[in-house]
């Protein structure tokens, strides 16, 4: 009965989920957006429900701008590092691993991906702590001065790795790496073998083949992975809270503003930053065909 009227049929299928996503999710996002155009009255601490751009103006204050730039910088660094580390793993897994190795690669990506996020952060806390494993390894290898030299670098160094930007960066890379590996691997698996053969038949050396055939075809996968690494880093507030210095990232700023400070409008304005960045990012990625690699 429904099959004869495809329009009605599709409509029936979609009614419930769209109502859910439309009302619960989009509705909430709109509510958030509306709040970012209100402002907090400095004297009474009450939110004034009148349209104003003052809250967005507050984002440009140097302390808040610092937070935004720091977060975006970290997201860029984490994304680049993830891409560099993920590529060899994805390449070997897609093109050369067979049988038992293939299973091992699958497991090595899936286990960290699906293991509890907090457990992963906790494990790194154990590794990076002052009395933890890395310190011990460096001492064993007689490399303690090297570790101390790294920690004494201004800005990114610190008292120990678990309270430095280097630590934050390492944990971010570890936690989001599988999201980079999977789409890259999927893209590499789709590169037709006959293209590679054609390239070498035409006299392309392995490196040339890689540069002109493999890499361009794998790029959508890398872009797809970067959507995850970038977006997740922008919004995370737990990793910098547990492993890192006392300087805030966007996520922490949002959390502090909406919680202890009670400044919901500013918190909302802060969250609009990642939304805008990710919106542009997704739009660019879509034009590059990155979604086909998901």
Partner 1 sequence: MRSETPLPLKLFAGAGLAFLLAPLLIIFVYAFTTEEKSFVWPPPGLTLKWFAVTWERPDVWKALGLSLQVATVSTVLALVLGTLVAAAVSRSRFFGRETISLLVILPIALPGIITGIALRSAFSILDIPFSFWTIVLGHATFCIVVVYNNAVARFRRLSGSLIEASMDLGADGFQTFRHIILPNIATSLLAGGMLAFALSFDEVIVTTFTAGQEQTLPLWMLEELIRPRQRPVTNVVALVVVVVTFLPILLAFLLTRDGDETAGAAK
Chain residues 190-219 in contact with partner 1, contact rule CB under 8 A = 193, 197, 206
User: Are the C-beta atoms of 22 and 32 separated by less than 8 Å?
Assistant: no
CA–CA gap between residue 173 and residue 44 (Å, rounded): 43
Binds partner 1 by CB under 8 A, chosen from 5, 8, 20, 66 = 20
User: Are the C-beta atoms of 282 and 288 separated by less than 8 Å?
Assistant: no
Give the Å distances, CA to CA, from 63 to 40, 138, 276.
Answer: 18, 36, 20
Q: Which of residues 230-259 bind partner 1 (CB under 8 A)?
A: 231-232, 234-238, 241-242, 251, 254-255, 258
CA–CA gap between residue 47 and residue 264 (Å, rounded): 8
CA–CA gap between residue 79 and residue 233 (Å, rounded): 9
Q: Any contact of residue 35 with partner 1 (CB under 8 A)?
A: yes
Binds partner 1 by CB under 8 A, chosen from 104, 153, 195, 276 = 104
Question: Which CB sits closer to partner 1, 2 or 149?
Answer: 2
Question: Which CB sits closer to partner 1, 165 or 174?
Answer: 174
Binds partner 1 by CB under 8 A, chosen from 8, 29, 146, 198 = 29
CA–CA gap between residue 22 and residue 131 (Å, rounded): 50
Q: Any contact of residue 70 with partner 1 (CB under 8 A)?
A: no
Q: Any contact of residue 110 with partner 1 (CB under 8 A)?
A: yes
User: Are the C-beta atoms of 41 and 31 separated by less than 8 Å?
Assistant: no
Question: Which CB sits closer to partner 1, 154 or 212?
Answer: 212
CA–CA gap between residue 187 and residue 189 (Å, rounded): 5
Question: Which CB sits closer to partner 1, 45 or 88?
Answer: 88
First to last CA, the chain: 35
Binds partner 1 by CB under 8 A, chosen from 74, 182, 188, 222 = 182
Q: Compose the 72-101 pattern: x for residues touching partner 1 by CB under 8 A, - for all others.
A: -------------xx-xx-xxx-xx-----
DSSP state of 262: -
Binds partner 1 by CB under 8 A, chosen from 69, 111, 141, 276 = 111
**Sign (positive or negative) of CA dihedral 55, 59, 60, 61:** positive
Q: Which of residues 269-288 bind partner 1 (CB under 8 A)?
A: 271, 274-275, 278, 282
Q: Any contact of residue 124 with partner 1 (CB under 8 A)?
A: yes
Q: Any contact of residue 133 with partner 1 (CB under 8 A)?
A: yes
Q: How many residues bind partner 1 (CB under 8 A)?
A: 97
Contact segment (CB under 8 A) with partner 1 among 57-65, 122-130, 147-155, 212-220 equals: 122-130
User: Are the C-beta atoms of 152 and 164 separated by less than 8 Å?
Assistant: no
Binds partner 1 by CB under 8 A, chosen from 26, 80, 195, 276 = 26
Q: Compose the 138-157 pattern: x for residues touching partner 1 by CB under 8 A, - for all others.
A: --------------------
CA–CA gap between residue 16 and residue 220 (Å, rounded): 33
Q: Any contact of residue 262 with partner 1 (CB under 8 A)?
A: no
Question: What secondary structure does DSSP assign to 108-149, as a single string?
Answer: HHHHHHHS-HHHHHHHHHHHHSTTSHHHHHHHHTT-HHHHHH
């Amino acid at each position: 009965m429904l099959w004869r009227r495809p329009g009605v049929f599709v409509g029936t299928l979609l009614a419930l989920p769209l109502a859910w996503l439309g009302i619960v999710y989009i509705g909430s996002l709109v509510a958030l957006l509306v709040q970012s155009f209100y402002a907090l009255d400095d004297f009474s601490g009450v939110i004034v429900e009148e349209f104003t751009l003052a809250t967005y103006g507050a984002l440009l204050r140097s302390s808040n701008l610092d937070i935004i730039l720091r977060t975006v910088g970290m997201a860029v660094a984490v994304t680049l590092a993830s891409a560099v580390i993920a590529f060899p793993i994805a390449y070997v897994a897609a093109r050369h691993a067979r049988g038992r190795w293939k299973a091992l690669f699958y497991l090595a990506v899936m286990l960290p991906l699906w293991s509890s996020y907090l457990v992963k952060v906790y494990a790194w806390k154990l590794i990076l702590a002052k009395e933890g494993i890395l310190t011990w390894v460096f001492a064993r290898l007689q490399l303690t001065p090297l570790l101390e030299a790294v920690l004494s670098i201004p800005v990114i160094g610190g008292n120990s790795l678990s309270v430095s930007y280097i630590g934050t960066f390492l944990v971010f890379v570890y936690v989001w790496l599988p999201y980079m590996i999977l789409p890259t691997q999927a893209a590499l698996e789709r590169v037709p073998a006959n293209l590679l053969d054609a390239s070498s038949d035409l006299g392309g050396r392995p490196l040339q083949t890689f540069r002109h055939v493999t890499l361009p075809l794998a790029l959508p996968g890398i872009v797809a992975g970067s959507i995850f690494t970038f977006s997740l880093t922008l919004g995370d507030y737990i990793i910098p809270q547990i492993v890192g210095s006392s300087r805030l990232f966007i996520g922490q700023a949002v959390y502090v503003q909406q919680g202890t400070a009670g400044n919901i409008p500013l918190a909302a304005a802060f969250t609009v930053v990642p939304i805008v960045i990710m919106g542009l990012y997704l739009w660019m990625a879509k034009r590059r065909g990155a979604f086909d690699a998901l």
